A and B are shown apart, each in its own frame.
Chain A
Amino acid sequence: MTKTHERIGQLGWEPTHHKPVSNYPTRYTFPKKAKDPMKQIMREYLPMQLEKDERMYGGFDAAVRANMATKAERRWLEVLKPFVHTTTYIEGCAGRVMSMLMDTVPNHELLNGYHVQFVDELRHIGMQQSLARWYTKNAPEPEGWAMGAKYYTGSPLTKAGYNMGTHCIVGDPLHCGLTMMAVLETAFTNIAFVALPDVGVRNGDFTLPTTYSSAQSDEARHISNGYATVLTLLQESSNIPLIQQDLASGWWSTHAFIDPFAGTLIEYFSKDRSDQESYLQKWDRWVNDDYYKSFIEQLGKLGLNMDPAPFVAARDRIVNGLIHQTAIFSFAIWPLAYWRFDGLDERDFEWFEARYPGWYDEYGPLWEGFNALKHPSEQALLLQGFLENSPPLCWSCMMSCLGDAEPLHRVVDGRTRFYCSEMCKRNDVDYPGRFTGDRQFFDKYHGWDLADVIRDIGFLHPDGKTLVGQPHIDDDKPLWTLDDIAACGCEIVSPNILTAERLGLPNGSWHDPSTPDGGVATGELGYVASSIGGDGLETGPGVRDLDGKGNGRKNLGGVVL
């Protein structure tokens, strides 16, 4: 195989008739030599993947015959809606960044590995969409699955996941590639594709572990791609500060969503309580030991001096309640979700208290409150008064700025941006113009009645009145409708607007109804003039000069560059 690989490696050549172009500018310098980490040839690769496919899809068929969808815990099945949608989108990003790298990295040795990864990612999209389809057809509740792709970017809870995945396909292609391969895949697939499916098995779900175990068997090769990319870049000393900056940035943008998201799923949506490990213990095993100590620290021997602070800070946030605070926030805004929530019971309380002493005193009353308001006849919601006291949402990661300290902020163009952490602030400051669009969900709806918000995002059954999200999984209890929500008289407020007012800061809203996408920092919009060339630039009055020749873009509105 090595000999075959060596021969196949001779297919690459350095173009001399025409210079290759990339649509993605990079700050990195590439050395002459690189290593192919995969040594993958198609005649070996294709039958191997087919075999894995056959086993996995065979597992789906077996699971139908065994009626597994009705045997799995309902609490667990519900939360798979946002989970599968999120991972499927990230798989697409993992593929697309390979294309960016192939257009940018000149080292032939790396290109084959990148390409094989893109084909792997198409496989993962197919597998995970098939899994979603399997649940749609077999799980007790198809609502949420049926309109899943529409709902995915509409809920404030999953929109942050879309934001996180997109980090890996926008920007310097090496920044994107490192974030995907050397952070998301190396650090976090063990959490999402190993630890989380283990919880699935404990909850009677065998199709999800079958699917993600098969995907995880490809991840080792993707991790190798990331390692080979880092090793290649390290040969040029000018790359070292860039890697340090981009790897830290990617680490944080990934942690900021994945840890609270996966942690909430694992701890708060498991009905089974046989698992002795808390999320923090899983994190220590899979991320701290297997990633930080085994990978990041070892890069120090190769000249990379990674600041430990972002890694320590991430762990500290988990220790200080990141998962628990995210969980109660997610449950409180259940009407804005497209899955159903099962409140915690006494067994759950005991499990949490045993792992997090003092948990009940701090969070128990909120969970008791959630449970007391499951029935629509209560005409009350945990959300009422909740947002008024909530911290603002982070401009960068779009998650809540949790913790007791006043949130970090910065004033840009006369408006206030809040940040959950120093690293999220750096991710905005160090990469100007990166964050665009109508990012802060509640700004748009500040002052709206909750029923109108739900109507606007459209998370409704075909009857046009029953909510898709529900605060219980009991089919004998009535489902909440828009009328029930309206009867609560719940006014939505933006924590960002309120926090800015409370602190005497300029406007905390980044919503502007007069722009086409509703964002103050509006992104690229609609169609551009047909005179545009393939490089996406246009000429004429009003363009921002981007190449020094008068070519630029004019459809950017007030984007902050």
Chain B
Amino acid sequence: MSAPTPPVKRFDDGSGRVKKDESRRGFLYFTPQKRRPSLYEELTVDTQPSPQRHLRGGWLISFADGRGTHSLGSTELRVKDWFDWRDPEGLWERPFYQQAAQAAREQDAAVASARSEGLFARIDEQWQAFLRSSLQLPAFYEHGLWRALCGASRPALSDSLTHAIVLEAAMKQRQAQDLVVYAMDLEAEIGECSTEAAKQRFLEEEAWQPVRALVERVYSVHDWAERVLAANLCIEPLVGNFLRREMLLVPASANGDPVTPVIIGNAQREWLWVREWTVEFVRFCLDDEEFGEHNREVLARWTQTWNAEAEAAAKAVAGELDRVPRARPADEALEQLRRERDEVQAALQSKEVAA
């Protein structure tokens, strides 16, 4: 557990009245990260009891194979106190719903506006054809990561980590659904946008198989932290951003599509949150006084493996960009994405991690 924070200075208001002692009017059972506890900390921390925290007498209920209610062996990573980790953005349910509902509203408003202003008819015809055939393909990728992340949220070893993983999964599910909903809205404007046809391509087309295999592999892994970091440290920076930004966001604007940038803009804003908390999670593991070096080895191994797999998937699907009107060359796009991925992984400072 962290060391106690210094006392908060209090000033006399000069009224001469005896002030009531308000020092007990807060949650005092955890050490806040800063001088005062944030609202996020008060609502999140210590909602998952543990013998490493306040639970005395050990786990009261165990699995038949001997694992405790939560198992420190559920990940290869080792941390002195998992409950010290905080989401730097401090996301909890209320701001999550505010932001996510806003994203849903923005999409609805963008569709309504495009419809009333006749903008769908002015979308480049090639892009219309691309939307009909390919808009929904990235939705399957998002849906696959959603499933992998959902499974990682139960074994995660602190309440704040579980919160972040569940909220990320909820974003992934909405991002996947946003594309399907947009496809349905588009059908009245540009013709059939079959989800089933997109699914067949995702399941069968050669270029997409490495992407499908990649997300399927994430939920074939037992280790919850490996699932999360494979997704957020290796796959999302390269494959996720390739699909969202390079395949959809950038060319959509160039082709006169006013809605896709709204949908993907929100997804990318959410990615920035994911990136931020993932980098903080990596820092947290590497800076651990007792286990930092062990974690560095584990993370180096994971990133080496998953970078290679993500690279293979990105290369396989990169050819698809040639069919996207006004997209930039795939090699150029991938170069930038690799640089950005390396920035996300910078804390690892290891030459082997780059594929």
Which residue numbers of A lie inside 8 Å of B, CB to CB? 3-4, 7-8, 10-13, 15-25, 41-43, 46-47, 49-50, 53, 57, 88-89, 92, 95-100, 102-103, 111-112, 114-115, 118-119, 122-123, 125-127, 129-130, 132-133, 136-137, 142-143, 145-154, 159, 162-163, 166-167, 169-171, 398, 431-439, 444, 462, 516-519, 522-528, 530, 532-538, 544, 546, 552-553, 556, 559, 561
Q: Which residues of B61-112 are within 8 A (CB) of A?
A: 61-69, 71-76, 78, 92-94, 96-98, 100-101, 103-105, 107-108
Residue A115 contacts which of B27, B169, B224 (CB distance < 8 angstroms)? B169
In the assembled complex, the Cα of A29 lies from the Cα of B163 at a distance in Å of 31
By the criterion CB–CB under 8 Å, are A129 and B42 in contact? yes
Please give the distance in Å from A429's CB to the nearest CB on chain B. 13
**Known contacts A99-B150, A130-B43, A149-B54: does B68 contact A523 (CB below 8 Å)?**
yes
- Contact call B150/A102, Cβ cutoff below 8 A: yes
Q: Are A146 and B27 in contact (CB under 8 A)?
A: yes
Residues on B with beta carbons closer than 8 Å to the beta carbon of A519: 57-58
Instruction: Other than A25-B65, A53-B94, A544-B66, give 9 A-B pairs with Cβ distance below 8 A.
Output: A11-B140, A11-B195, A92-B159, A125-B47, A127-B93, A162-B55, A163-B60, A431-B64, A536-B73
Kindly state the separation between the CA atoms of A431 and B42 in the bound complex, as whole angstroms: 36
User: CB within 8 A of A534: which of B51, B76, B199?
Assistant: B76
Known A-B contacts A115-B173, A171-B63, A534-B226; A152 and B154 likewise in contact (beta carbons under 8 Å): no
**B49 interface contact, C-beta 8 A:** yes
Q: What's the Cα separation between A11 and B166 when bound, in Å?
A: 19
Minimum C-beta distance from A447 to chain B (A): 18
A104 to B229, CA, bound (A): 21
Min CB distance A107 to B, Å, is: 12
Contact check, A53 vs B105: say whether CB atoms are below 8 A apart: no
In the complex, which of the residues B43, B66, B78, B199 contacts A524, with contact meaning CB atoms closer than 8 Å?
Answer: B66
| CB <8 Å contact, A530 and B195 | no
Cβ of B155 within 8 Å of any chain A Cβ, yes or no, is yes
What CA separation (Å) do A57 and B39 show in the bound complex? 14
Tell whether, in the assembled complex, residue B71 and residue A524 are in contact, meaning their CB atoms are under 8 Å apart.
yes
Known: A18-B220, A20-B219, A146-B27. A57 touches B62 (CB 8 A): no
Smallest beta-carbon distance B42→chain A, Å: 6
| Distance (whole angstroms) from the CB of B46 to the closest CB of chain A | 4
B26 part of interface (Cβ distance < 8 Å):
yes
Q: B161-182, CB under 8 A of A: which get 1 and which 0?
A: 0110011011001101110110
Contact A142 B76 (CB under 8 A): no
Q: Determine the chain A residues whose CB is within 8 A of the CB of B98 once the complex forms.
A: 50
Among A21, A119, A127, the residue within 8 A (CB) of B170 is A119
- B62, B72, B76: the one within 8 Å of A434 (CB): B62
Which of B7-15, B210-218, B251-259, B336-344 is the interface stretch? B210-218
Asked whether A46 lies within 8 Å of B174 as measured between CB atoms, the reply is: yes
**Contact partners of B202 in chain A: CB under 8 A:** 13
Bound-state CA distance A133–B139 (Å) is 39
Least distance between A437 CB and chain B CB atoms (Å): 4
Contact B217 A17 (CB under 8 A): yes
Distance between Cα atoms of A267 and B224 in the complex (Å): 44
A525 to B199, CA, bound (A): 46
A7 touches which one: B105, B167, B195 (CB < 8 A)? B195
Within the assembled complex, what's the spacing in Å between the Cα atoms of A49 and B101? 9
Complex formed: what's the CA distance from A103 to B74 in Å? 14
**With A11-B180, A23-B222, A528-B72 in contact, is A129–B62 under 8 Å at CB?**
no
Whether A89 lies near B150 (C-beta < 8 A) is no
> Is there an interface contact between A46 and B101, defined as CB atoms closer than 8 Å?
yes
Residues of B within 8 A of A151 (CB): 54
Point out the residues of chain A lying under 8 angstroms from B28, CB to CB.
Answer: 146-147
B132 nearest CB across to chain A (Å): 14
Contact present for A133 and B97 (CB under 8 Å): no
